[in-house]
Structure 1
Amino acid sequence: MPEDRNPGESGRTASGMLRRVTGRAGGFLLPDSRAGRTLVVGSFVDALGTGMFMSSATLYFVGVVGIAADRIAWASTLAGALALLAPVPLGRLADRFGPGRFYMVLLILRGLGYACYAFTTQFAPYLVLTMALTALDRASTPIQQAVVTVAVDGNDGTRTMASIRAVRNIGFTVGILLAGGVFAADSRPAFTALFLGNGLSFLVIAFTVRLALSRVAGQGARPPESAAGTELGASPVPSGGVRSPFRDGWFMLFTLANGILSLYDTVLLVLLPVWVMQYTDIPSAVVPLLMVVNTVLTVGLQIVIARHVDEPATAVRFLVVSGVLLAVSCGFFALAQGTTNTVLAVAMVLVATVVLTVAENLQSVAAWELSAVLAPKAARARYLGAFSLAFTGQKVIGPSLLVIALLPAGLLAWPLLATAFGCAAAVSGTSARRALAARVGQPPAVLPSPVAESPVEQT
């Protein structure tokens, strides 16, 4: 007969088990450095507010305010096109004033802008707000990466970026679920509170950035800058300044190739649903399940892969492998389209989604590492802004290219797309090696991670 337990003792045991489980989960998801963990917490708050806003804004402005749906869509398209190049000039300002300080200014401006949606009742101010905020949003991502390179030591920078992406997936999902309460309330004050809360969240994020950078400054553990004022091992910055990233041939070729690899995003979010509904006998209900598989795998894979990127040479190999896997996923999509057995088709699509997800995470982690290495310290935000154009560009061009031009080719579409991925993998690997060699005149295997040599930014 089992021994009776004291209820208080059982409660303490359960509480201890919960702390151990959450501690292990936090240890897996969060980076090692305190500054990195602080930035990840801020990113979770960001994603939480963004998930709530994105899932409710269109419903509010169409169903409550009364703006026509086609005008909302037109505003989004126009804002996206006009904001495409915003990361480059804003990145230049970030390099001039310091990425940490400038990023906090962007966060405050974004917070004010998103809060203003609560008081917007006409299309004209909605359009102005959408255009301004889209430009600020586009510029914030590469500048955030520049902040990470300043705030986080060593290879933990790539781990921090992976953690940020992982917790963003979680925060965005939680935000969408919380927005369901606003839908249920179906009242204007509830939407107003949501928009104001999203605006306030940016102030919280700005505080976490300030806290992370102040912790790094207080540690004073970074190696000082060399006499030339450059990173250890990097070429001295010319007296006339750093050249534009658009004049850096190998870097731009590397950027273009990564833009093609980044088409995995359009394949998953745009091409896959259309293809399932119009070109296969697979039930449409499978599509949301595939999205869940991708999201869940991404949360874990980002962290695991980032732990193994300890030098640029490894990142180059991961980048090439990602292109090969993307081509392989196209093969499984073709098999699914070619079979008349629905169960087999669903199985092939599931395998294709898993392979594509692995490739997606390999590519994103490798791209973070290499783009940071290749960006000169004096122009890091500007270079990262230029590099981000590849991903945002495929979001603009990708849907038309893949759905309108490629899908009508039938089964031939998949080998064509696989060839594009394979070529992009080869070009990205070659251009990255050449750009790395030109960057510091050393083989990629011995290049230091840029975040290990960045001086502490005083904010």
Structure 2
Amino acid sequence: MILPERGPVRSLAFSVLLRATGRGLFITVSVIFFLSSVGLSATQVGAGMTIAGVVSLAAGLPSGRLCDVLGPRAVSITFAAFGGLAILGYAFVDSFWGFAVVAALAKFADAGDSVARATLVGGIAPPGERVRVRAYIRAVTNVGWSIGGLAAGVALAVDTRPAYLTMVYGCAACYLGAGALTLRVPRVAPAPHTAGGGPTWIVLRDRPYVVLALLNMVLVMHLSLLTTIIPMWIKHIGAPGVMVAAIGLINTITVTLLQVRLSRGTGEIAGAARAQRRAGALLLLACVLFAIAAGQPLWAMLAALVGGALLHVFGELLQSAGSWGLSYELAPSHALGQYQGLYNTGWQAAEVVAPVLLTTVVIGWGWPGWLLVGALFLGAGLAVPPAARWAARSRSAYGDAQVGLVVGRTAVTEA
């Protein structure tokens, strides 16, 4: 990963790096902090985070609309500051409902800032470079998470409330600092929808785009495989616990090194649709290998888990790149924020639904559950190219796209 040339992208990258470092500081210690220091039960932590996830669904479209009306830089700075103050609230939590309220505010701020940063990238990068910049920003995010996670290891080793509170304060400071660094990113002029120019919430009337956002929501459930299901599965089949860390390391290193490279060709609709189709196939194969791991000799079990992890991360890389290409290329310039908001809402919904759904299906049913989940990924991936062709044909009804589009074997020209 090479530092970009001086300019808007480098300024945004430094802001993202600081924010991601703070996120890594907090996420690494958060569950232990809530359990051992705040005194919550595991059930209460899970319930509070579920409530926070549901609340975050309300952030996507409104924050996107604010980006269109006020400009994404101002919205990103506001949500970064709000998020930092919300994180500070954890230092004063001493009950379940206090925890739930603070978690909801913090999660809402994270969701809003995510939309604002995506829209900001769309404003500072030319259309052909947006996906590459998003890929670079994601690699930077992984580096920040790793830095924060390593630093938080000290707090875990010390295992005292002051050590955990230091991580909370550090995360809040990083969020506030990231907001300040965003001031160095050039202001993107707002593009409000003019009166009489059509419906305000045009994205909700854009049925092809809504379908693509829903398909992406299905594909993005793979993130819960990494964070929740695979660790459970490793314990369920009796594999060494160190495999959880090994698979996490494989994912982090691969995303950091290859996200930009594997995003090439996804800055236009045809390439983005193909990437999502391939992602569905790779995720199916990953699920098959994870299923096979059960009941095998140790060497075969470990080989299947590592192979599944590699297929999973390559599917993740292609899914992300494809989602960025479609979300940008199909959005009209006057409503880029609300279009990013809808896609982000799909990501947030997947975070809420996937852990419960996948735990029930995979851990409850075993290998048939893995095959069912894999088939779901494959079906969603195969559905993306025809949905993208439908979306390409309809662009003149929703905005100002003036590009020649080639999706699959169908050529479409928008005027």
TM-score by length of 2: 0.87
1:203-352 equivalences under 5 Å are 203-213=176-186, 239-278=197-236, 280-337=237-294, 340-352=296-308
Q: Bigger shift: 35-44 or 73-82?
A: 73-82
Q: Which residue of 1 aligns with 2:124?
A: 151
Q: Which residue of 1 aligns with 2:411?
A: none
Q: Which residue of 2 aligns with 1:21?
A: none
CA shift for structure 1 position 58: 3.7
* Residues 82-104 of structure 1, C-alpha deviations (whole Å, 9 max, x = no match): 22232112222222211111111
Partner AA of 2:406 in structure 1: A
| Equivalent pair of 1:31/1:159 in contact (CA under 8 Å) | no
| Equivalent pair of 1:306/1:365 in contact (CA under 8 Å) | yes
1:16-31 equivalences under 5 Å are 25=1, 27=2, 30-31=3-4
Q: Which residue of 2 aligns with 1:444?
A: 405
Quote the Cα distance in structure 1 between the aligned partners of 2:244 and 2:157.
25
| Equivalent pair of 2:268/2:329 in contact (CA under 8 Å) | no
Q: Which residue of 2 aligns with 1:16?
A: none
Quote the Cα distance in structure 2 between the aligned partners of 1:185 and 1:165.
31
* Residues 240-293 of structure 1, C-alpha deviations (whole Å, 9 max, x = no match): 344432221111111111111112112222222222322x35333322211211
Q: Which residue of 1 aligns with 2:141?
A: 168
The question of 1:400 aligning with 2:356 is answered yes
Q: Which residue of 2 aligns with 1:452?
A: none
Summarize the Cα distance change of 1:242–1:445 in structure 2 as closer, same or farther, 3 Å threshold: farther
Summarize the Cα distance change of 1:120–1:266 in structure 2 as closer, same or farther, 3 Å threshold: closer
CA shift for structure 1 position 386: 1.1
Unaligned runs of 5+ in 2: 396-400, 408-415
Summarize the Cα distance change of 1:399–1:114 in structure 2 as closer, same or farther, 3 Å threshold: closer
Q: Secondary structure at the match of 1:444?
A: strand
Summarize the Cα distance change of 1:370–1:238 in structure 2 as closer, same or farther, 3 Å threshold: farther
The question of 1:202 aligning with 2:175 is answered yes
Partner AA of 1:319 in structure 2: Q
Q: Secondary structure at the match of 1:213?
A: coil
Partner AA of 1:419 in structure 2: A
Summarize the Cα distance change of 1:74–1:335 in structure 2 as closer, same or farther, 3 Å threshold: closer
Quote the Cα distance in structure 1 between the aligned partners of 2:192 and 2:109.
29
* Residues 40-98 of structure 1, C-alpha deviations (whole Å, 9 max, x = no match): 11111011111111223343344334445543332222121222232112222222211
Q: Bigger shift: 402-411 or 437-446?
A: 437-446
| Equivalent pair of 1:79/1:135 in contact (CA under 8 Å) | yes
Quote the Cα distance in structure 2 between the aligned partners of 1:391 and 1:103.
18
| Equivalent pair of 1:245/1:251 in contact (CA under 8 Å) | yes
Partner AA of 1:99 in structure 2: P
Quote the Cα distance in structure 1 between the aligned partners of 2:51 and 2:249.
30
Partner AA of 1:399 in structure 2: P
| Equivalent pair of 2:75/2:113 in contact (CA under 8 Å) | no
Q: 375, 381, 384: which one pairs with 2:340?
A: 384
CA shift for structure 1 position 188: 4.5
| Equivalent pair of 1:263/1:398 in contact (CA under 8 Å) | yes
Q: Which residue of 2 aligns with 1:56?
A: 29
| Equivalent pair of 2:234/2:240 in contact (CA under 8 Å) | yes
Q: Which residue of 1 aligns with 2:309?
A: 353
Quote the Cα distance in structure 2 between the aligned partners of 1:372 and 1:119.
40
Q: Which residue of 2 aligns with 1:93?
A: 66
Quote the Cα distance in structure 1 between the aligned partners of 2:125 and 2:387.
27
| Equivalent pair of 2:130/2:267 in contact (CA under 8 Å) | no
Q: Give percent identity, aligned residues only.
A: 27
Q: 392, 409, 414: which one pairs with 2:370?
A: 414
Quote the Cα distance in structure 2 between the aligned partners of 1:202 and 1:427.
38
CA shift for structure 1 position 182: 2.9
TM-score by length of 1: 0.80
| Equivalent pair of 2:53/2:351 in contact (CA under 8 Å) | no
Quote the Cα distance in structure 2 between the aligned partners of 1:136 and 1:376.
25
Partner AA of 2:226 in structure 1: L
Quote the Cα distance in structure 1 between the aligned partners of 2:96 and 2:362.
35
| Equivalent pair of 2:21/2:147 in contact (CA under 8 Å) | yes
Q: Which residue of 2 aligns with 1:22?
A: none
Unaligned runs of 5+ in 1: 1-24, 218-224, 447-459
| Equivalent pair of 1:31/1:160 in contact (CA under 8 Å) | no
1:111-122 equivalences under 5 Å are 111-122=84-95
| Equivalent pair of 2:77/2:182 in contact (CA under 8 Å) | yes
CA shift for structure 1 position 120: 4.1
Summarize the Cα distance change of 1:66–1:249 in structure 2 as closer, same or farther, 3 Å threshold: same
The structure whose Rg is larger is 1
Summarize the Cα distance change of 1:347–1:93 in structure 2 as closer, same or farther, 3 Å threshold: same
Q: Secondary structure at the match of 1:55?
A: helix
Partner AA of 1:326 in structure 2: L
Q: Bigger shift: 379-388 or 153-162?
A: 153-162
Quote the Cα distance in structure 2 between the aligned partners of 1:407 and 1:181.
33
| Equivalent pair of 1:47/1:171 in contact (CA under 8 Å) | yes
Q: 315, 323, 341: which one pairs with 1:367?
A: 323
CA shift for structure 1 position 230: 10
Q: Bigger shift: 141-150 or 375-384?
A: 375-384
Q: Bigger shift: 32-41 or 63-72?
A: 63-72
* Residues 326-357 of structure 1, C-alpha deviations (whole Å, 9 max, x = no match): 122223233333x6332122212211211111
Quote the Cα distance in structure 2 between the aligned partners of 1:431 and 1:33.
38
| Equivalent pair of 1:91/1:143 in contact (CA under 8 Å) | yes
Q: 58, 80, 103: which one pairs with 1:107?
A: 80
CA shift for structure 1 position 405: 2.9
Summarize the Cα distance change of 1:180–1:325 in structure 2 as closer, same or farther, 3 Å threshold: closer
